[in-house]
Amino acid sequence: MTDFIHSLMLPTCVCTFDGELIDANQAMVADSKACSKFQLLNHNFIDLMVDKTKQHSIVDVLLSGNSVHDQHILLKFFDNTVDARITNVTLLSAPKKWMLMQYYKHELGHQPFIEKYELLLQEVHKIKPYLNKYGQTELIRICDQHKQHLAEGRHKTCVEYIAHQLLNKYPCLSPSDLHICAFISLGFSSHEIVHFLGCTLNNLRVHLHRICKKIKVSSREELYVRLQHAGIAT
């Protein structure tokens, strides 16, 4: 039943909701740095995920009848390195609770955002001559809304990338700590960080106090300087 995955170019596997690997293609064996397919299949996929809660959220989405698209995950490979991947997951067999998971590496950069926005503008240019004044105003509003959405998507990609790099340098930090540090290294204000993370300013202050204590700095300004000298490629 799973033979078709071996013809796919991207790393692909079939696993149960509990993370038991049923089958995997050669691309996944190579990407995971496993010595052999046998070694890979003898591991639970959840054990390879840095943030175990992502597995539960993926299962919840599948159980609701939907598929998972462009979910950012952090994987720990067999050579003990950690890297970010973007995954798409679909329910393969409901009775057996099997899911098809395929992931790819997203290179950091602004080009995907630029290409998507240029495509949006091209479509707007085609439609605009056929609209009245109210329609053109509404189209501009929708265009600006999509621009903001695409920009936020780019920020999330940057944050995920920086967070997984910081993990190698500061393994003492929790996933939440790493994301906050990533936002700070990018120059985001406290209000902007709160907006993206959906937390309160008080919660952010508590996290910052804990982060400063772990990294042994005395202030947010000193934390920013430390992150800028951490060798994180942005």
Confidence of residue 31 (pLDDT cuts 50, 70, 90): very high
Looking at residue 29, its pLDDT comes to 94
Output the average pLDDT for the chain. Answer: 81
* Residue 26, SS3 per DSSP: helix
Q: Which two tokens stand for residue 171?
A: 């393994």
Looking at residue 120, its pLDDT comes to 62
The per-residue pLDDT for range 97-112, each reduced to its tens digit, is: 899 999 887 544 444 4
Distance (Å, whole) CA 213 – CA 202: 17
Distance (Å, whole) CA 163 – CA 178: 5
Q: What is the mean pLDDT of residues 146-158?
A: 60
Fold (CATH) for 3-104 = Beta-Lactamase (3.30.450)
Map out the domains of the chain as residue ranges: 3-104, 111-228
Would you say the C-alpha torsion 44, 47, 52, 58 has a positive or negative sign? Answer: negative
Q: What is the mean pLDDT of residues 14-25?
A: 92
The per-residue pLDDT for range 114-131, each reduced to its tens digit, is: 455 556 667 767 777 777
pLDDT surpassing 70 at residue 194: yes
**Do the beta carbons of residue 48 and residue 77 sit within 8 Å?**
yes
Number of alpha carbons in the 13 Å side-chain half-sphere of residue 30: 8
pLDDT surpassing 80 at residue 156: no
> 111-228 architecture in CATH?
Orthogonal Bundle (1.10)
